[in-house]
């Protein structure tokens, strides 16, 4: 029986399955800095093909792939547009400033999703007093937005506008496969919209580490140079690339299981009197607030029952369903939540 200790802090906490580990151990690796690791090359080619791009680059983390993209797409002194809830702004250590020397124009979108009108109204005029607006960054799904997904037509409109107004468009696709599964969209269709996409393998897909940046050949050539300068060149990294390859082949369709369990959690939460402001649940993230006078009891109840969650502020709680969260654990969680009066 699966360990009933429940960890819903993130979908990054998963442990590789036995099948994934076996696949990793069988990898025939080489030195990737010398471009001699065929497993890495296969993974990069796989994702480039999936998203209809010319090339790809394997990196240690999604923060690195995002930061590389910003560095390559911009010049020092430029400005980028992103939502105030974006991972790029909130959780990447101020890298846009320290790595690229650019400023950020924050937009207050809908659960982290910015609209075309908001982009238009935040583009700086061609005037020496203002930084050049160079890059628009979207995040799909939106972590701090409770796993909210963009409407495809909205992204398409933004893409067309950027193409026609000399703006570059990057997607932080840390959970892009959750969006694709939830909305039944095609990865090829996504690839046509964006100049670059950051794709994480260590969240819902369950690999232990790794993100891949996709784009055209000239972009990836420069991205590889920036990766090296950031310390992201790795040697016999094919073992990790193999985990990513296994995840792509075996763990995409099962994301719907995570989404279903998240919806079931939401159905219970909405009936509990001490829960307020439950955000819409589209994927595997459940975001809600606990009434102030219930917070101490709520925390104690979770701790007593070996349930881990993320607190995003004093009252806001995040559950993230994941590969290691099963139906028995779901039942225990729901019963525990109902037990608090």
What local confidence, expressed as pLDDT, does residue 92 receive? 97
Question: Would the pLDDT of 1 be above 70?
Answer: no
Over residues 229-258, mean pLDDT = 97
Over residues 72-80, mean pLDDT = 99
Per-residue pLDDT tens digits for 273-326: 999 999 999 999 999 999 999 999 999 999 999 999 999 999 999 999 999 999
List, in order, residues 6 or more apart from 300 with CB less than 8 Å away.
none
The Cα 287–Cα 147 span in angstroms is 8
Q: What distance separates the 2 farthest-apart alpha carbons in the chain?
A: 65
The 3-class secondary structure across 145-180, one letter per residue, is CCCECCCHHHHHHHHHHHHHCCCEEEEEECCHHHHH
The Cα 277–Cα 138 span in angstroms is 24
Per-residue pLDDT tens digits for 19-66: 999 999 999 999 999 999 999 999 999 999 999 999 999 999 999 999
**Tokens for 239?**
């073992």
The Cα 46–Cα 48 span in angstroms is 6
What local confidence, expressed as pLDDT, does residue 2 receive? 54
The Cα 146–Cα 169 span in angstroms is 23
What confidence category does residue 3 fall into, taking pLDDT thresholds of 50, 70 and 90? low
Over residues 208-230, mean pLDDT = 98
Over residues 4-12, mean pLDDT = 95
Work out the percent of the chain whose per-residue pLDDT is above 70. Answer: 99
What confidence category does residue 4 fall into, taking pLDDT thresholds of 50, 70 and 90? confident
Per-residue pLDDT tens digits for 174-203: 999 999 999 999 999 999 999 999 999 999
Q: Which of 146, 159, 165 is nearest to 197 (CA)?
A: 159
Per-residue pLDDT tens digits for 94-148: 999 999 999 999 999 999 999 999 999 999 999 999 999 999 999 999 999 999 9
Q: Could you tell me how far CA 253 lies from the centroid of its own chain?
A: 17
The Cα 187–Cα 109 span in angstroms is 24
List, in order, residues 6 or more apart from 33 with CB less than 8 Å away.
228, 233, 234, 235
The Cα 52–Cα 152 span in angstroms is 17
What confidence category does residue 341 fall into, taking pLDDT thresholds of 50, 70 and 90? confident
Give the three-state DSSP class for 231: coil
What local confidence, expressed as pLDDT, does residue 85 receive? 98
Q: Which domains does the chain have, with CATH numbers?
A: 18-250 (3.40.640.10), 253-339 (3.90.1150.10)
């Amino acid at each position: 029986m699966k360990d009933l200790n429940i960890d819903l802090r993130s979908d990054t906490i998963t442990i590789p399955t036995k099948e994934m580990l076996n696949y990793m151990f069988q990898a025939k690796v080489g030195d990737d800095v010398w471009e001699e690791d065929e497993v890495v090359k296969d993974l990069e080619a796989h994702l480039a093909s999936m998203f209809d791009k010319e090339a790809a680059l394997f990196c240690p983390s999604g923060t690195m792939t995002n930061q590389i993209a910003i560095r390559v797409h911009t010049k020092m002194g430029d400005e980028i547009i992103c939502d105030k809830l974006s991972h790029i702004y909130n959780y990447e250590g101020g890298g846009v400033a320290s790595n690229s020397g650019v400023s950020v124009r924050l937009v207050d979108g809908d659960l982290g999703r910015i609209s075309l009108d908001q982009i238009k109204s935040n583009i700086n005029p061609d005037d020496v007093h203002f930084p050049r607006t160079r890059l628009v960054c979207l995040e799909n799904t939106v972590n701090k937005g409770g796993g909210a997904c963009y409407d495809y037509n909205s992204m398409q409109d933004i893409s067309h506008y950027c193409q026609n107004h000399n703006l570059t468009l990057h997607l932080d696709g840390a959970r892009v496969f959750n969006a694709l599964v939830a909305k039944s969209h095609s990865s090829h269709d996504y690839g046509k919209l964006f100049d670059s996409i950051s794709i994480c393998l260590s969240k819902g897909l369950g690999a232990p580490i790794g993100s891949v940046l996709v784009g055209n050949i000239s972009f990836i050539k420069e991205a590889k140079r920036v990766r090296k300068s950031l310390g992201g060149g790795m040697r016999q990294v094919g073992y990790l690339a193999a985990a990513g390859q296994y995840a792509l082949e075996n763990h995409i369709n099962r994301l719907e299981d995570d989404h279903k369990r998240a919806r079931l959690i939401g159905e219970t939460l909405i009936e509990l009197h001490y829960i307020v402001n439950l955000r819409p649940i589209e994927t595997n993230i459940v975001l809600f607030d606990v009434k102030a006078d219930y917070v101490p009891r709520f925390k104690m109840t979770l701790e007593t029952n070996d349930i881990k969650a993320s607190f995003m502020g004093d009252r806001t709680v995040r559950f993230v369903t994941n590969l290691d969260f099963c139906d028995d654990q779901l039942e225990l969680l729901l019963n525990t939540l109902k037990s608090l009066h």
